[in-house]
């Protein structure tokens, strides 16, 4: 049996995504900038995808910019808005648990002379709205935070934060990294006072190398890619039509079946939590209720030296999990997120992330739990001292 429990790293493409991408690659392969019929067909795929995505967020089509994925979306939002608004101020606010594609970008801007405030989080991984309010200044041009943390699934109070930001300083832009939350939560940027929102296709059964950035109309953002002026100059380069078409289908599908998907994820997660609670020496990181993602669980293990040993022992049984963020898990480092929520030092390197999708079954979860019950005593017995 196999159990793929690493869906926060990437998901399997849906069949309908595969089918439309194959159609675009093999039949309707024109360049969307070409003036002939093949070009028009390609352009129609982009238009259709934009309409589908805009509908899920209740925004307009012109507010959607296609990118190569979450990292580019975050870079465009943060660097683009900082460069466009630096005359109004150079102060940026973010949090201590951001993904590297936000944290590293903010670090780059700091090197360019911007001032950065990093908000701490509590043991559940959530920011304090009072601390956010206190941090906002007259020269604060941007607040950037994720909605769902990719490592332990904390949900940040985005709507409350958005309202607070606009009340304290209406000129401060609010960027939300929704890479783990889009498709898992209902998101309406206009109701939540969100100016920019990043999404990645391969987290929601779409293709890798696909994503988009929602930019609220009239928000000042400078492009970071220059060239042929595609997408109204906001993101030059020939559009990746197969990926964009696939992304549109994936977004439409995941929200068409939203209620059933959400209920299934919660059911699978509850089964996992119930089982893990019976295994000695395990600790859940962050909260596990409605304030946590329906699809992510972070578990720290007592008396385990390295999470990689357990990860590979599970892999030998066809169980696939992650030792943190997949984007950086091949570079061994202590997780800033786990440190920020106060995970004991001894368990910082003994933590695994289990993440589920609509395809995950209760049987797969039980199989993984049984393997943990068997492997943990063995690994603890032979741990190094």
- Domain boundary at 256, 283, 301, which? 256
The pTM of this model reads 0.95
Residue 148 three-state SS: strand
**Same domain for 272 and 146:** no
C-alpha pair distances (Å), 279 with each of 125, 272, 273, 350: 24, 11, 10, 15
- The pLDDT of residue 324: 64
Whether residues 296 and 168 share a domain: the answer is no
Same domain, 99 and 219: yes
Domain count, the chain: 2
Question: What is the predicted pLDDT for the residue at 232?
Answer: 95
Give yes or no: residues 189 and 85 share one domain.
yes
Is the same domain home to 38 and 107? yes
- Are residues 183 and 90 part of one domain? yes
Please tell me whether residues 290 and 252 are part of one structural domain. no
The confidence score (pLDDT) of residue 116 equals 98
Q: If DSSP codes are grouped into helix, strand and coil, which group holds residue 260?
A: helix
CA angle 161, 74, 257 (to 5 degrees): 75
In a 3-state reduction of DSSP, which class is residue 216?
coil
| Pair (248, 276) in one structural domain | no
Domain-ending residue, one of 256, 277, 305: 256
Coil, strand, or helix at residue 337? helix
The pLDDT, as a whole number, for residue 380 is 86
For residues 262 and 371, membership in a common domain is answered with yes
Where do the DSSP E strands lie in 111-191? Answer: 115-119, 140-146, 173-177
Nearest to 131 by CA among 82, 90, 181, 96: 96
CATH code (residue 358): 3.90.1150.10
Q: Are residues 315 and 226 in the same domain?
A: no
Whether 345 and 275 map to the same domain: the answer is yes
CATH for 153:
3.40.640.10
Q: Is 327 a catalytic residue?
A: yes
Among residues 11, 10, 13, 6, the alpha carbon closest in space to that of 319 is found at 6
Rounded distance, CA 242 to CA 49, Å?
11
Question: Do residue 124 and residue 108 come from a single domain?
Answer: yes
Q: What is the pLDDT of residue 70?
A: 98
Instruction: Measure the CA–CA gap between 201 and 222, rounded to whole angstroms.
Output: 23
d(CA 363, CA 196): 39
pLDDT at residue 201, rounded to an integer: 98
Domain boundary among 221, 238, 256: 256
Tens place of pLDDT per residue across the chain (385 aa): 999 999 999 999 999 999 999 999 999 999 999 999 999 999 999 999 999 999 999 999 999 999 999 999 999 999 999 999 999 999 999 999 999 999 999 999 999 999 999 999 999 999 999 999 999 999 999 999 999 999 999 999 999 999 999 999 999 999 999 999 999 999 999 999 999 999 999 999 999 999 999 999 999 999 999 999 999 999 999 999 999 999 999 999 999 999 999 999 999 999 999 999 999 999 999 888 888 999 999 999 999 888 999 999 999 999 999 986 555 545 556 788 988 988 888 888 899 999 999 999 999 999 999 999 999 998 888 765 4
Residue 124: domain span: 15-256
Pick the catalytic residue: 13, 251, 287, 327?
327
Region label for 113, one of left (φ > 0), alpha (ψ between -120 and 50) or beta (otherwise): left
């Amino acid at each position: 049996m196999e159990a793929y429990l690493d869906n926060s790293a990437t998901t399997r493409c849906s069949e309908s995504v595969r089918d439309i991408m194959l159609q675009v690659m093999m039949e309707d392969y024109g360049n969307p900038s070409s003036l002939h019929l093949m070009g028009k067909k390609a352009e129609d795929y982009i238009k259709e995808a934009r309409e589908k995505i805009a509908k899920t967020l209740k925004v307009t089509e012109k507010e959607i910019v296609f990118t190569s994925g979450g990292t580019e979306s975050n870079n465009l939002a943060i660097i683009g808005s900082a460069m466009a608004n630096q005359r109004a101020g150079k102060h940026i606010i973010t949090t201590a648990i951001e993904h590297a594609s936000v944290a590293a970008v903010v670090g780059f801007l700091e090197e360019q002379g911007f001032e950065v405030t990093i908000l701490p989080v509590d043991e559940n991984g959530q920011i304090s709205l009072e601390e956010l309010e206190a941090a906002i200044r007259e020269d604060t041009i941007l607040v950037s935070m994720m909605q769902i943390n990719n490592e332990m699934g904390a949900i940040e109070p985005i709507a409350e934060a958005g309202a607070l930001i606009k009340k304290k300083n209406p000129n401060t832009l609010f960027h939300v990294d929704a890479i783990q939350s889009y498709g898992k939560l209902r998101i309406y940027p206009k109701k939540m006072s969100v100016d920019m929102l990043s999404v990645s296709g391969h987290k929601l059964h779409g293709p890798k190398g696909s994503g988009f950035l929602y930019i609220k109309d009239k928000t000042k953002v400078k492009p970071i890619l220059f060239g042929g002026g595609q997408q109204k100059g906001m993101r030059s380069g020939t559009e990746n039509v197969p990926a964009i078409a696939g992304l549109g289908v994936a977004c439409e599908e995941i929200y068409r079946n939203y209620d059933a998907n959400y209920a299934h994820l919660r059911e699978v997660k509850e089964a996992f939590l119930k089982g893990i609670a019976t295994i000695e020496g395990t600790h859940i990181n962050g909260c596990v209720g409605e304030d946590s993602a329906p699809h992510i669980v972070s578990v720290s293990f007592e008396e385990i030296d390295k999470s990689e040993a357990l990860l590979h022992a599970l892999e030998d049984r066809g169980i696939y999990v992650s030792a943190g963020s997949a984007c950086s898990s091949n570079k061994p480092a202590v997780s800033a997120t786990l440190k920020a929520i106060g995970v004991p030092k001894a368990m910082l390197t003994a933590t695994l992330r289990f993440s589920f999708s609509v395809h995950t079954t209760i049987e797969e979860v039980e199989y993984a739990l049984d393997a943990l019950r068997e492997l943990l005593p063995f690994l603890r017995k032979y741990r190094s001292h």
